[in-house]
Amino acid sequence: MKTIFKAMAVTLVATAALGTAWAGPMDKPKQGKLLGDKDYEWNANGGEKDEAEHLTPDLANGREVYEVCAACHLPEGWGQTDGTFPQLAGQHPKVIIKQLADIRALNRDNPTMYPFALPDQIGGPQAIADVSAYIQKLKMNPEPGMGDGSDLEHGKKLYKENCARCHGDHGQGDNDKYYPRLEGQHYNYLMRQYQWIKEGKRRNANPDMVKQIQWMTERDTKAVLDYVSRIKPPADKIGVKGWKNPDFE
């Protein structure tokens, strides 16, 4: 099992090294449109997203599908503190379903993940439903990557005034509205995604958020995301330090 993970990780790192110069399906989006296009809907109904949401998850198959994901996101779903890969553990299933469906439909540009998210790698809508349910049940990283902690009061104020309305007063997100759980997410990953959303690079981002964060300064950004990364999830969602997922031992 570890050999499989190592081989997949090498492939993924090689793919990531190609960066935006990667020539492939992402160069010619077939669905979805750039932010600013009046016909663009960030969360349009239809397609695999809707189908997967209405299926009954099979956790046993979800574990099998997650083996592909584990090479980068780790068997525990804890990702990397340097922000290379996000923590997935504990994330809302509809958030995972939407992001997987958007990547497959070329509504979100992710050249590194795209080849491994395709139906011939993980399966169809049922597989998306299965792996999303499996991910939600994983306990979260007790030691997420954080910022320097130098401006937390400013970050707390910004979060309450600008972020809590959608992402919740505790960063818990909202499954039904596709707002991701932010509490305990790696600071460096939050920073990168925030910047991509602000610049319009993450094309499936909520346009309301794109507009809302345009005024934030570099200080504001660092402070609020540092604060978010330090919000502790509920105790029953946090894993034990050093825990290893027995499904992959």
**Predicted local distance difference test score (pLDDT) of residue 41:** 67
| Structural domains counted in the chain | 1
**Predicted local distance difference test score (pLDDT) of residue 46:** 75
- How many Cα atoms are found within 13 Å in the side-chain-facing hemisphere of 169? 0
Between CA 221 and CA 229 the distance in angstroms is 12
Crossing angle, helix 218-229 and helix 152-162, to 10 degrees?
90
89 and 29 Cβ atoms separated by less than 8 Å: no
Range of the domain at 9: 2-248
**Predicted local distance difference test score (pLDDT) of residue 1:** 53
Q: Which residues pair with 179 in a beta bridge?
A: 174
H or E element that contains 175: none
Which residues of the chain, if any, have pLDDT below 50?
2-7, 9-40
109 and 208 Cβ atoms separated by less than 8 Å: no
**Predicted local distance difference test score (pLDDT) of residue 42:** 73
**Predicted local distance difference test score (pLDDT) of residue 98:** 96
CATH number of 39's domain: 1.10.760.10
